[in-house]
Amino acid sequence: MRRDRRTKILATLGPASENPEMIAKLFEAGADVFRLNMSHLPREKLKERVEMIRAVEARFKRPIAILADLQGPKLRVGAFEGDSAMLVQGQSFTLDADKTPGTKNRVHLPHPEILSSLEPGHTVLIDDGKLRLRVKSVKQGSATTIVEVAGKISNRKGVSLPDTTIPVAAMTEKDRSDLEAALDAGVDWIALSFVQRPEDVAEVKKVARGRALVMSKLEKPQAITRLDEIMEISDAVMVARGDLGVEMPLEKVPGIQKRIVRTARKLGKPVVVATQMLESMITSPVPTRAEVSDVATAVYDGADAVMLSAESASGQYPVDAVSTMSRIAEEVEQDQNYWSIMRTLNAEPEATGSDAIAAASHQIADTLNIKTVAAWTFSGSTAFRIARERPNSTVVALTPSVNTARRLALVWGVHSIRTKDASDIDDMAFRACKFAVREGYSAIGERIIIVAGMPFGTPGATNMVRIAFVNQEHAAQA
C-alpha cells in the first residue's frame, strides 16, 4: 500500500477506534502512525493495543509507527465543600497546603512544589484558563491571589502556570511505569508531555536507551524560552496547541507554531502539529472551512505530520476524519505554490558529508525530474537527512531494521521498506530499482537516485549517490 502524499497522519486510538477492524479502516483511510494516549489507556491494556496494530501491520505488509504519549504531571486543585464555589472578580482567594475542603475564599493545592515556586505577579489559570488568578503575596505553605477572571471553580480542576518554572521533572511515577511498559511492548516513539527544559528530555532518553525515539511536546511557555536546547536533544517535536493555547495568549500560538516547524525543518527533526485540527468532526461528518485551512497551513509549512486526537479516539466519524485530513494534504501537495514554499523554507545543508550527499540527491532529482530517491539506511539517519530537503520525489527508505522502518513512518515523504542489507554495489542498485517498481514509484526506462553509505551496515556513513536506470529485469523481479 502506497500513499499519494508526503505529509503523514497520526490518529489517536480510543473508545471509538480501539478494535482491530477500526484500526485497519483508519490505516486504509490514511493513518500512518497510531497514538496511544497513556492519560486514558490503562497500562495493562497497552500490550494488547500494540499487538492489534502489529496485526494490522502484518495484514497490510506496511510498517506502522506507534507513539506512546505519556500523561505528564497533572496539576489540580483539591475538593470543595459542596463540590464547587463561585469566585467573584477582584476578591482575594488563597491556595494553600490545608487539606480541609475548599470554600469561596480558599482551596487546598496538593502540590507543595507549586506553592514554593509562585511569586507575586505570577498568573494562575484554573480549568483550562476559564478562571485567572494573579498572585498577590506568598508565604510558607500558601499563596494569596486576586481573582481577575471569575467564575465557578469545582473539585480537582486543572491548574496551569504560564509564568512559573516548577522544580519537578516532566515524568511522574506513573509516567515511569508507563514508559517501561511502552518500551517492553515495542512502541516506536515516546511523546513526553509538559517539557520545560532539555533535562526533561535527557531523562527519558536515558531510560529509553535507543529502544524508542523521543518526541517533545511543546506546550509550556518555559519550553518556548529554551526551544533551541530542547529541540537539539529531542528526536522529534510536537506543537501541542491545546495547553500551549491555555498558558499563552491564543493570538501568539500561530506564530509559535511556525517558529517551531521552521526550526524543526532546519534541524532535520520531524515535527507534528496537533490539537483541534478537525475538532468539529467529533460530532459532524464534515469539518468547518477554518479547520480545513488550519490543516492546510500545517501542510504548506512543511510539517512532517498532522494529528487527530478526539476526532479519531472518541468521535462519531473517526474514519471520515482521517480520510478528510488525507484529502486536504493531498490537495495542498498538488498545488504549485506548495513546492515553491518548500524551496523557500529549505535550510542550508550542514558542513558534513552526509548533509552534502542529501542536498546533492535533492538537486539531482530536481534537475533530472527524477521521481524516486532510494535511501539505504540502517539507523534511519540517511532518510531523515534527505527528507529534511523536502524533495519533490518520494524517498524510498530501504533498511534491514524493522524498528527503523516503523520509526520512519512518521517522517515526511518517506516510504519505508524492510529488506536485507545490500551485499555489494550492484545488489544495492538492482534491488533499489526493483522496489521502486514494485511499490509503484518508478517505471521501466525511468531513472532513480540511490543514496547509501559505504561500507554497508555502517550507521551514519552516508557517502555515496548514484543514478540508475530501471529496466525490464527489475520489473520482472518486482
Give CA–CA dist 17/249, Å, rounded: 33
pLDDT of residue 4: 87
| Structural contact between residues 63 and 32, judged by C-beta atoms closer than 8 angstroms | no
pLDDT of residue 460: 63
pLDDT of residue 477: 86
- Sequence-distant (≥ 6) Cβ neighbours of residue 324 within 8 angstroms: 278, 281, 286, 287
Candidates 460, 373, 367, 468; CA nearest to 413 is 373
Residue-level pLDDT, tens digit, the chain, 478 residues: 789 899 999 999 999 999 999 999 999 999 999 999 999 999 999 999 999 999 999 999 999 999 999 999 889 999 999 999 999 999 999 999 999 999 999 999 999 989 999 999 999 999 989 999 999 999 999 999 999 999 999 999 999 999 998 887 779 999 999 999 999 999 999 999 999 999 999 999 999 999 999 999 999 999 999 999 999 999 999 999 999 999 899 999 999 999 999 999 999 999 999 999 999 999 999 999 999 999 999 999 999 999 999 999 999 999 999 999 999 999 999 999 999 999 888 878 888 888 899 999 999 999 999 999 999 999 999 999 999 999 999 999 999 999 999 999 999 999 999 999 888 899 999 999 999 999 999 999 999 999 998 777 666 678 889 999 999 998 888 7
| Structural contact between residues 174 and 71, judged by C-beta atoms closer than 8 angstroms | yes
- Sequence-distant (≥ 6) Cβ neighbours of residue 452 within 8 angstroms: 375, 376, 382, 422, 428, 462, 464, 466
| Structural contact between residues 201 and 223, judged by C-beta atoms closer than 8 angstroms | no
Beta bridge partners of 273: 239, 306
Return the active site residues.
35, 76, 217, 275
State the DSSP code for 108.
E
Give CA–CA dist 105/297, Å, rounded: 45
| Structural contact between residues 302 and 273, judged by C-beta atoms closer than 8 angstroms | no
Q: Where are the beta strands (DSSP E) in 98-166?
A: 106-108, 123-126, 131-139, 142-149, 151-154, 159-160
Give CA–CA dist 17/36, Å, rounded: 11
**Phi, psi dihedrals of residue 244, rounded to the nearest 5°:** -60, -40
Beta bridge partners of 146: 92, 134
- Sequence-distant (≥ 6) Cβ neighbours of residue 184 within 8 angstroms: 47
Question: Which phi-psi region, left, alpha or beta, contains residue 62 (left: φ > 0; alpha: ψ -120 to 50)?
Answer: beta
- Size (the chain), residues: 478
| Mode of pairing for the β-strands spanning 33-37 and 8-13 | parallel
pLDDT of residue 345: 81
**126, three cell numbers:** 484554573
pLDDT of residue 344: 86
User: What are the structural domains, with CATH classification, of the chain?
Assistant: 8-72+170-332 (3.20.20.60), 81-160 (2.40.33.10), 348-477 (3.40.1380.20)
**Is the bond leading into 455 cis (omega within 30 degrees of zero)?**
yes
| Structural contact between residues 415 and 2, judged by C-beta atoms closer than 8 angstroms | yes
| Mode of pairing for the β-strands spanning 462-469 and 372-376 | unpaired
**42, three cell numbers:** 490503562
Give CA–CA dist 24/58, Å, rounded: 11
Candidates 141, 229, 132, 174; CA nearest to 46 is 174
Give CA–CA dist 290/287, Å, rounded: 8
Give CA–CA dist 478/475, Å, rounded: 5
Q: Is 158 helix (H, G, I), strand (E, B) or coil?
A: strand
Residue 49's identity, in one-letter code, is R
Q: Where are the beta strands (DSSP E) in 311-390?
A: 372-376
**b/e map of 357-373 (b: 16 or more CB within 10 Å)?**
bbbebbebbeeeebbbb
Residue written as cell 506513573? 174
For residue 117, give Cα distances in angstroms to 164, 166, 243: 7, 6, 20
Residue written as cell 537527512? 385
For residue 191, give Cα distances in angstroms to 137, 156, 208, 239, 438: 36, 25, 12, 11, 34
